[in-house]
């Protein structure tokens, strides 16, 4: 019926489509069957006997063909290549055929029960109980799949992990309600040596202060706490300590111990000075220090130092001593929606409290069957003589280990047939949306929204992106997509890269975080990730980059129009994580671009790949280009290196710690390159221009693919690729703005629907 209607109304369109398909079939016969026939079966792909007009019947094969032809990898180098017009026509015809087939028979894919990963768990605890603590820190690092650690298929549950959840539930539930029987505990913040010290963000320090430490601490009860401050001496060990006791109210407080402007040096110490022994007198001299809690000056005192710039080493908080009450904490305000004034009111009040918590924790409407077990824990604890508050804590403890909290589970509607696609309920869509943008549970406005209404969905997305909780999208999605999380483990050799230290590492990370935040918060084009004409630096990072006129610790937006530093490929974070400790890596950098920006990762290297030769036959140290040319004499390696190496060479002016250089091994750096398709470029500016212009579509498709993978919590299949293309097209129509990508992901069939019977 549909085909007949189309033939009557759109005969010309259908005729053109048929002609494109016929032309595409000719393309396959001419350029593909020689390697992908029944006899050759190169790469395990057989196209002989397959009709392009019925590509939808074999999406896995044809999507692979589409990816390889569009990227220029096929036909392989050395074989006759079609001209650009023929290639583009084939790609359009194949895309159109696959997309029509997907629209006619939508398949949203399978979803499995999804355990909260450690970031989602910590955020959910924060938003459920109002606890400003890192609840996920005690959990083991999650496995990753498809580049992200929120993939349902790899988030397993082990007996050891269950024990962690049980221990956390007991600790967190009592911390939230306030346990007056709590014994004093000691918590230490900071570092033990000057080499480890990292200056806090300027925004967190009083004006002009330096050498300090800033941390957020949850004081569990109203009471007295001891704070012990030890500063770093000129050498590796703490020089002295100062102890004081003071009353603090329960709840989260920001503590700052820093040296005021008149006690701190006017300039930022150089990297070499930070790690070097003090050259001043070894005798201890007094220096003033400020202690502040939530911005209020608590005490100014003198503390002894032994040479060097004054730096705070560790601050130890011990307590509470002689607690006076549980306090008026955000957690108690969040939990205790009612207070019983008689014994008869206790159970109804407890059921109300636990029911409200269960509704938010389980991310759906709750029934008596959900609340009764939690209320049972309350009643048994109360019968044993526990206070009302601690009995509530027992019910909260049970809630925090419930599978309904720890797992995201979507249930099929009654009567749904296995394999049948259906739209998610509003509550399930709210859960998907909140974990996508916030890595946490829905708040009340989202949970109560009629998300089946497109206008409501759009309004909620706008609100959620503007909320500070969307920092999770930057941190969890952006940090993993761009390998930013691995920066903490990067260990550049300071003997080779003397400009690197912990403050520079922190500056690298802060720059990229602020850059991503600008793209999201200001709703800018994602193409700026490639070629932005601005970045974010403080004095330390600006000096490393050779940017003049930047003073102080504060990060600020600066213009960079030299084609070098703008965009991700000029940022120290990316350049450092794609290098080895003692040298740059053409391969790592080229692979990073292919995988993370173009979506065409090379295959794993063959076993027993030899190391790069360090020297030539004459004993002379080889530059990177010479070493790679010798390495590529291995024909097995040459095909992949033909794609990776030119990209990596374009970034060779950046050393392993992101600093600009003109020479390598005493010879001028040649940053030119040529891709297998024939395109030539030189240096980072040439590479960025190539990516932003010739490979823009691949980059946009990669952003769409990565974002959809992260949003769904599963790897994408061939059946998802039409949705990826739809997301990319919708974003293109709105100038590639970040909100357009997010909205298109949420509007996709893959996000809004589920296939019944797929657990």
Confidence of residue 430 (pLDDT cuts 50, 70, 90): very high
Query: Which of 268, 208, 269 has its CA nearest to residue 550?
Result: 268
* Residues forming a β-bridge with 240: 231
Inform me whether the pLDDT recorded for 42 exceeds 90: no
Inform me whether the pLDDT recorded for 506 exceeds 60: yes
Q: What are 538-561's pLDDT values in tens digits?
A: 999 999 999 999 998 899 999 998
- Whole-number pLDDT of residue 272: 43
Q: What are 666-716's pLDDT values in tens digits?
A: 899 999 988 877 788 999 999 999 999 999 999 999 999 999 999 999 999
Relative orientation angle of helices 721-733 and 59-71, to the nearest 10 degrees: 50
Inform me whether the pLDDT recorded for 759 exceeds 80: no
**Least trusted range by pLDDT, from 86-90, 332-336, 729-733, 737-741:** 86-90
Sequence length of the chain is 759
Does residue 267 or residue 598 have the better pLDDT? 598
Exposure of 546 by Cβ count < 10 A (0-12 exposed, 13-18 middle, 19+ buried)? exposed
The phi and psi torsions of 515 (rounded to 5 degrees) equal: -65, -50
Omega within 30 of 0 (cis) for the link into 357: no
Residue 351, both tokens: 């059921």
Omega within 30 of 0 (cis) for the link into 457: no
- Whole-number pLDDT of residue 377: 98
Task: Decide if 264 contacts 310 (C-beta within 8 A).
Answer: yes
**Least trusted range by pLDDT, from 206-210, 377-381, 529-533, 712-716:** 206-210
Q: Cα 643–645–646 angle (5° rounding)?
A: 80
Confidence of residue 504 (pLDDT cuts 50, 70, 90): very high
Residue 660, helix vs strand vs coil:
strand
Query: Which of 577, 728, 711 has its CA nearest to residue 657?
Result: 577
For the CA atoms of 185, 190, 192, 196, the dihedral, rounded to the nearest 10 degrees, stands at 150
Q: What are 98-144's pLDDT values in tens digits?
A: 999 999 999 998 788 999 999 999 999 999 999 999 999 999 999 99
DSSP string of 233-279, one letter each residue: -SSSSEEEEEEEEEEE-SEEEEEEEEE-TTTS-SSPPPHHHHHSPP-
* Residues forming a β-bridge with 292: 256, 297
Task: Decide if 655 contacts 664 (C-beta within 8 A).
Answer: no
Distance between terminal CA atoms of the chain? Answer: 35
- Whole-number pLDDT of residue 273: 41
- Whole-number pLDDT of residue 629: 65
- Whole-number pLDDT of residue 14: 43
For the CA atoms of 633, 639, 643, 645, the dihedral, rounded to the nearest 10 degrees, stands at -20
- Whole-number pLDDT of residue 241: 77
Q: Of all residues in the chain, what percent carry a pLDDT higher than 70? A: 87
- Residue 35 DSSP label: T
C-alpha 706/C-alpha 180 separation (Å) is 48
The CA distances from residue 643 to 181, 513, 609, 640, in Å, are 64, 29, 18, 6
> How crowded is residue 748: how many other Cβ atoms within 10 Å of its Cβ?
22
Q: What are 647-679's pLDDT values in tens digits?
A: 999 999 999 999 999 998 889 999 998 887 778
Inform me whether the pLDDT recorded for 29 exceeds 90: no
Q: Alpha helix (H) ranges present in 32-73? A: 59-71
- Whole-number pLDDT of residue 278: 44
Contacts of 393 (CB under 8 A, 6+ apart): 173, 174, 176, 177, 179
C-alpha 433/C-alpha 451 separation (Å) is 10
Q: What are 144-176's pLDDT values in tens digits?
A: 999 999 999 999 999 999 999 999 999 999 999
Q: What is the mean pLDDT of the chain?
A: 88
- Residue 737 DSSP label: B
- Whole-number pLDDT of residue 16: 46
Q: Alpha helix (H) ranges present in 595-737? A: 624-631, 635-650, 683-693, 696-712, 721-733
- Asked whether the CA dihedral 83, 84, 89, 94 is positive or negative, the reply is positive
Q: What are 354-364's pLDDT values in tens digits?
A: 999 999 999 99
Q: What are 233-286's pLDDT values in tens digits?
A: 654 445 567 899 999 999 999 999 999 877 655 444 444 444 444 444 456 678
Does residue 442 or residue 638 have the better pLDDT? 442
Contacts of 89 (CB under 8 A, 6+ apart): 20, 23, 24, 27
Pairing of strands 753-755, 421-423: antiparallel
Mean pLDDT for 386-415 is: 96
C-alpha 695/C-alpha 598 separation (Å) is 7
Residue 247, both tokens: 């009353």
């Amino acid at each position: 019926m549909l085909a007949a209607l189309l033939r009557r109304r759109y005969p010309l369109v259908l005729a053109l489509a048929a002609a494109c398909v016929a032309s595409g079939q000719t393309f396959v016969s001419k350029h593909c069957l020689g390697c992908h026939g029944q006899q050759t079966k190169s790469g395990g792909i057989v196209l002989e006997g397959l009709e392009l007009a019925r590509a939808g019947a074999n999406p896995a094969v044809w999507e692979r063909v589409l990816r390889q032809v569009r990227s220029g990898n096929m036909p392989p180098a050395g074989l006759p290549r079609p001209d650009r017009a023929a290639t583009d026509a084939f790609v359009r015809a194949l895309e159109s055929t696959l997309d029509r087939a997907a629209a006619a028979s939508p398949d949203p894919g399978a979803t499995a029960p999804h355990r909260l990963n450690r970031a989602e768990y910590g955020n959910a605890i924060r938003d459920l109980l109002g606890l400003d603590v890192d609840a996920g820190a005690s959990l083991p690092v999650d496995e990753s799949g498809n580049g992200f650690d929120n993939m349902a298929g790899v988030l397993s549950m082990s007996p050891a992990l269950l024990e962690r959840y049980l221990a956390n539930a007991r600790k967190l539930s009592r911390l939230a309600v306030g346990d007056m029987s709590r014994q004093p505990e000691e918590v230490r913040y900071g570092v033990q040596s000057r080499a480890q010290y990292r200056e806090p963000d300027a925004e967190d320090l009083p004006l002009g202060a330096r050498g300090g430490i800033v941390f957020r601490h949850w004081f569990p009860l109203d009471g007295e706490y001891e704070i012990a401050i030890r500063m770093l001496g000129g050498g590796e060990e703490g020089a002295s300590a100062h102890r004081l006791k003071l009353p603090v109210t329960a709840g989260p407080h920001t503590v700052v111990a820093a040296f005021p402007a008149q006690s701190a040096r006017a300039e930022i110490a150089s990297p070499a000075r930070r790690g070097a022994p003090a050259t001043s007198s070894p005798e201890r001299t007094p220096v003033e220090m400020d202690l502040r809690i939530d911005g209020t000056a608590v005490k100014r005192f003198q503390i002894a130092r032994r040479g060097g710039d004054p730096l705070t080493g560790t601050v130890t908080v011990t307590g509470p001593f002689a607690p006076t009450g549980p306090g008026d904490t955000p957690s108690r305000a969040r939990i205790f929606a009612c207070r019983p004034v008689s014994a008869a009111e206790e159970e109804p009040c407890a059921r109300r409290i636990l029911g409200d918590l269960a509704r938010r924790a389980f991310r759906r409407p709750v029934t008596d069957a959900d609340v009764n077990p939690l209320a049972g824990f309350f009643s048994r604890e109360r019968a044993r003589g526990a206070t009302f508050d601690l009995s509530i804590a027992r019910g909260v403890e049970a809630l925090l280990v419930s599978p309904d909290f720890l797992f995201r589970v979507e249930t099929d509607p009654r009567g749904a047939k296995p394999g049948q696609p259906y739209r998610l309920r509003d509550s399930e869509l709210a859960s998907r949306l909140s974990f996508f943008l916030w890595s946490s549970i829905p708040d009340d406005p989202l949970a109560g929204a009629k998300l089946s209404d497109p206008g409501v969905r759009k309004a909620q997305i706008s609100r959620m992106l503007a909320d500070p909780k969307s920092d999770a999208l930057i941190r969890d999605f952006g940090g993993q997509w761009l390998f930013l999380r691995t920066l903490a483990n990067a260990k550049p050799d300071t003997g080779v890269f003397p400009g690197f230290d912990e403050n520079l590492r922190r500056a690298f990370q802060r720059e990229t975080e602020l850059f991503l935040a600008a793209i999201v918060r200001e709703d800018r084009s994602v193409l700026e990730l490639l070629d932005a004409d601005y970045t974010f630096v403080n004095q330390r990072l600006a000096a490393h980059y050779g940017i003049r006129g930047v003073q102080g610790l504060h990060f600020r937006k600066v213009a960079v129009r030299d084609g070098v530093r703008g965009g991700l490929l000029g940022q120290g974070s990316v350049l450092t994580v794609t290098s080895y400790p003692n040298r740059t890596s053409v391969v790592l950098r080229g692979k990073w671009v292919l995988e993370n920006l173009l979506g065409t990762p090379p295959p794993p290297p063959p076993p027993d790949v030899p190391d790069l030769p360090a020297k030539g036959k004459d004993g002379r140290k080889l530059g990177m280009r010479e070493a790679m040319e010798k390495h590529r004499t291995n024909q097995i390696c040459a095909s992949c290196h033909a794609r990776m190496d030119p990209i990596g060479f374009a970034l060779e002016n950046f050393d392993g710690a992101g600093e600009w250089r003109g020479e390598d091994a005493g010879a001028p750096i040649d940053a030119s390159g040529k891709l297998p398709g024939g395109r030539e470029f030189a240096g980072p500016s040439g590479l960025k221009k190539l990516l932003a212009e010739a490979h823009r579509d691949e980059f946009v498709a990669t952003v769409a693919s990565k974002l959809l993978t992260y949003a769904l919590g599963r790897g994408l299949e061939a059946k998802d690729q039409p949705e990826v293309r739809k997301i990319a097209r919708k974003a293109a129509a709105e100038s590639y703005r970040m909100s357009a990508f997010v909205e298109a992901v949420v509007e996709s069939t893959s996000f809004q629907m589920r296939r019944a019977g797929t657990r």
